Structure 1
Amino acid sequence: MEPDGVTFFILQGLSSLGEKQMILFVILLLGYIVILGGNSMIIFTLTDPKLDSPMYFFLANLSFVDMVYTTITIPKMLSGFLSNVSTISVPGCFLQMHFFIQLGCTGHAILTVMAYDRYVAICNPLHYTSIMTRPVQLLLITGAWVFSVVCTLPATIIALLRPYCGPNVVKHGWCDMASVRRVACADTSVDNIVSLCLAMVALLTPGSLILTSYVLIGVSLSRMAVTQRLKAFGTCSAHLTVVTISFSSASCVYISYRVRIIVAVLYAALTPFLNPVIYSLRNKELQESIRRTVNNRSFRRISVHFGFKLC
């Protein structure tokens, strides 16, 4: 359904910054390059047979979600910095709105799946391979996507059905649901309640499950020897760091609809930017795989250039 009297929205973004927009443009551009490069490297590296485990399978899915999540908003924002007026069509606006929220929710759900994976690996190590089979991995990833759709689609449909008769200026860098709702020509109090309830479900459900997993992991670690405890904690440290950053920043952004735009922009790029950095720095297996992959590719290019044949 296309809003009455409005065929496009103007994204005001950070136009109030004036010339300082270019500073943010450079920061976002460099960050976006790192996000695409770092997450692509992780996905490509995880084709290494030595990293054929559920944890790395889930990490590859998380990297894919992070790449698409940032691609939905950042390129449009970058183009807006370079033009006087940034516009987006009505269908494009609501598609951007939905997939931005859904993919953010999907990322949290995948982090929950990864917490469960760590729980099984540490608390039931003898049954790990029989529990975390490939069908179970696919079922968990599918569940993460279904959960995100259920938590986000109703609010998007409600927003789409509202009349929009002008003005059509969205005071945000992208089609943020709360910002678009403010230009609706109707009472949106019900929309606010529905969105807040769904946001709480999308945050509290994964958060509670992750917390439960780590409580059980903590109980299991207390019964282990010091060396086993340190090794087990090492496998969880990267995931726990990402979870802490992701959920704390998401809580600040989504619970308060009056958050400043620049904070929301930084949040949208923060976790996808930090994920490959944190996992690469804290995971020796991943570091070694990246090193092997880069060295093998470099050797292949040199061999092709000089006409050598690889065995």
Structure 2
Amino acid sequence: MEQQGQNKSLGADFFMLGFSTNATLQSLFFALFLAMHLITLSGHLAIVVITLVDPALYTPMYFFLRNLSFIEVCYTLVIVPKMLANLLAKSRRVPLTACAAQMYFFIALGGAECFLLAVMSYDRYVAICNPLRYTLIMSRNLCMRLLVVACASGFTISLGLTMLIFSLPFCGSHDINHFFCDIPPVLYLACSDTHFNEVAVFLVCMMILLIPFLLILISYAFIANSIFRIKCSEGRKKAFSTCFAHLIVAVLHYGCAIFIYIRPKASYSLEQDKVVSLIYTNVTPMLYPMIYSLRNKEVRGAFWRIWERKFPSTKN
């Protein structure tokens, strides 16, 4: 009977609790998050188009930036549309297979982004510390291979972790106290011993989060050393500006993720985690295009060149 109950639980649906049951608050949340989502998509798609269209941006730096923006678009599409639908839906039922698929793509794309941010720090390291050999080292072939490794690593690791979590029996409450199928709230619902799974999640998060973040910090230590050796203040300023945007994005992304996934279980708070998750799935992806474009003269210049080609000004 116990085995039958566990097997039955594997096919059961989940129910997403979301943010609030108040209809007015749900409508306000829907309008706010929809506006943020549209801004996020517009910003990242603009970066993808600009870096594809303008030949001046056919460099390794913008190749990685374009793919980072594409990953961010997919990343937000995995989470936000379903979250918006749940804000308006009377029933927030989520089939187990759909929950597993959402978790898989969320971890896969998040992991690919983590590895890609580390690759981008290596690109900046080569550009500043070995400028004369930059084009030789960062060849198109190497850039493609680094991109494939970053994405393949994220998707491969995610598959094993998702299978490990959804192999557990869920025979108690199926109410997920979250707005998407994240690891901690789903793991919280398991009705068997989850110690092994928690250790596995911790080790995977160490691999996806801490190791790339440490590599980024090491890269920027070398970069800072090289920048301080530049005698020309204008040269130092230019070198610093090319790294500042990437460093801010890395700190925001890794900081929120490390807070959620790498800390003792005793300090877990599903309500607190929900707020932090809202920041790194909705707020920070919206800020990334602004951070990159507003501080980057090349991106702004490419935008205006494309704009003038499409909408030429009439001169008398």
Matched, 1:41 2:46: yes
Please list every run of 5 or more consecutive structure 1 residues that lacks an aligned counterpart in the other structure: 303-311
Question: What is the Cα deviation at residue 110 of structure 1?
Answer: 1.0
Note if contact 2:13-2:174 (Cα within 8 Å) is conserved in structure 1: yes
Residue type of the alignment partner of 2:41: L
Note if contact 2:256-2:277 (Cα within 8 Å) is conserved in structure 1: no
Q: 1:167 and 1:178, CA in 2 relative to 1: closer, same or farther beyond 3 A?
A: same
Please list every run of 5 or more consecutive structure 2 residues that lacks an aligned counterpart in the other structure: 1-5
TM-score w.r.t. structure 1 length?
0.91
Question: What is the Cα deviation at residue 268 of structure 1?
Answer: 1.0
Matched, 1:284 2:290: no
Q: 1:98 aligns with which of 93, 104, 111?
A: 104
Q: 1:73 aligns with which of 79, 87, 90?
A: 79
Render the CA deviation track for 1:214-265: whole Å, top value 9, x for unaligned: 0111111222112221111111111112112222222222235423313212
RMSD: 1.9
Matched, 1:269 2:282: yes
Match of 2:260 in 1: 253
SS for the counterpart of 2:203 is helix
Distance in 2 separating the partners of 1:266 and 1:9: 24
Corresponding residue pairs, total: 300
Residue type of the alignment partner of 1:4: K
Higher mean alpha-carbon deviation, 44-53 vs 145-154, is at: 145-154
Residue type of the alignment partner of 2:241: G
SS for the counterpart of 1:15 is coil
Q: Percent identity?
A: 37
Alignment map for 1:15-34 (pairs within 5 Å)? 15-16=20-21, 19-34=24-39
Match of 2:8 in 1: 4
Distance in 2 separating the partners of 1:228 and 1:272: 30
Note if contact 2:26-2:88 (Cα within 8 Å) is conserved in structure 1: no
Higher mean alpha-carbon deviation, 291-300 vs 167-176, is at: 291-300
Q: 1:212 and 1:269, CA in 2 relative to 1: closer, same or farther beyond 3 A?
A: same
Distance in 1 separating the partners of 2:227 and 2:234: 11
Distance in 2 separating the partners of 1:192 and 1:3: 22
TM-score w.r.t. structure 2 length?
0.89
SS for the counterpart of 1:10 is strand
Question: What is the Cα deviation at residue 39 of structure 1?
Answer: 0.5
Distance in 1 separating the partners of 2:279 and 2:23: 18
Alignment map for 1:102-113 (pairs within 5 Å)? 102-113=108-119
Q: 1:139 and 1:156, CA in 2 relative to 1: closer, same or farther beyond 3 A?
A: same
Q: 1:158 aligns with which of 131, 155, 164?
A: 164
